[in-house]
Structure 1
Amino acid sequence: MKTLLVMGIGNILLKDEGVGVFCVQALEKEDWPENVAFVDGGTFTQDLFYLFENYDHLLVLDAVRGGREPGTIYRLEEKDLQENSSQQVSLHDIDLLDSLKMAELLGKKPVLTVLGIEPEKIAWEMGLTQSLENAFPDYLELARKEITRILETF
């Protein structure tokens, strides 16, 4: 049976930076098939490469700066992160690419999809800005749909 790891990345102490973690926390409370796992990846994705060998697909939920309005949702694949120099990605995603390379060296590299959302404010403060609070239900719903879409490809 193929497996999916849904990883929320970010720092919940830095306002909108924590949106990926908040999303994965909400999703893991729901009922999902046994081949779907959830993890709070925090901000140290390079240290998590050892997890990847157990999964066929990796869905990352994270704040992504793309220069659009706060709350804009992005769906990116690994090639988008590597080939699109105009796409500003967080440092987490750079670490994530390194982790995927390490996983590949170990012989098991999952397919990567990133579902990102444009932050409004990254500062030492807990919770989301009003912009991201307003966009969060749509982000959560798109994450559910992406999980379902990935499972249908298995």
Structure 2
Amino acid sequence: MEKIIVLGIGNQLMMDDGIGIYLVEQLAKRDHPENVEYLIGESDIDYCLQQIEDASFVIILDTVCTGLHPGDITLYPIEQLHEKQPLDLSPHNVHLFQSLYLQKDRIQGFLIGVEPHEIKFHIGLSAPINEIWRLLLEKVQSMIEDLIKNESAE
């Protein structure tokens, strides 16, 4: 059975920059297949890389700044982030995504990015993100389930 990692990255001290961590905390409490492990990587990219070394499929949850509306979700194949997306999409991605790109023949996966409302020093999510939190959580869970189902079918 292949190992699948859902990795939340971000910084909870910077409001909506912690979205990936908050999502992983909530999703880990829900039912999920045995081969799926939910991990919090925060902004320690070396720790993240160490944790995903023996995974074959990785789903990263993070804040992405694309200019869309707060709470909008975008999906990016990891192997395309390095080639086609600007590396300033997320403050955490340069080292992580470059490393994953170099391992693209061994590790497949996706970045699920959530557009923030506000990133500044403050613990907790912004009011606009809190207002849609349940819907956001359900959408991300559904996306993860679909990605895992499609990966398992291949």
Q: What is the TM-score of this pair, normalised by structure 1?
A: 0.87
Structure 1 residue 134: deviation in Å? Answer: 2.3
Structure 1 residue 56: deviation in Å? Answer: 1.3
Gaps of 5+ in 2: none
Deviations 1:100-125 (A, max 9, x none): 256x39xx832120111111111110
Which residue pairs with 2:126 in the alignment? 129
Structure 2 counterpart of 1:13, one-letter code: L
Which residue pairs with 1:60 in the alignment? 60
Report % sequence identity: 28
After superposition, residues 4-83 of structure 1 pair within 5 angstroms as 4-83=4-83
Which residue pairs with 1:111 in the alignment? 108
After superposition, residues 87-106 of structure 1 pair within 5 angstroms as 88-101=88-101, 104=103
Q: 1:47 to 1:109 in 2, by over 3 A?
A: farther
- The separation in 1 between residues aligned to 2:55 and 2:12, in whole angstroms, is 26
- The separation in 1 between residues aligned to 2:70 and 2:21, in whole angstroms, is 17
- The separation in 2 between residues aligned to 1:81 and 1:15, in whole angstroms, is 24
Secondary structure, aligned partner of 1:58: strand
The runs of 4+ residues in structure 1 deviating greater than 6 Å are: none
Instruction: Report which stretch shifted further, 75-84 or 56-65.
Output: 75-84
Asked whether the 8 Å contact 2:82–2:101 carries over to 1, the reply is no
- The separation in 2 between residues aligned to 1:79 and 1:54, in whole angstroms, is 17
Structure 1 residue 92: deviation in Å? Answer: 1.0
Q: What is the TM-score of this pair, normalised by structure 2?
A: 0.87
Gaps of 5+ in 1: none
How many residues of Structure 1 are paired with residues of Structure 2 in the alignment? 151
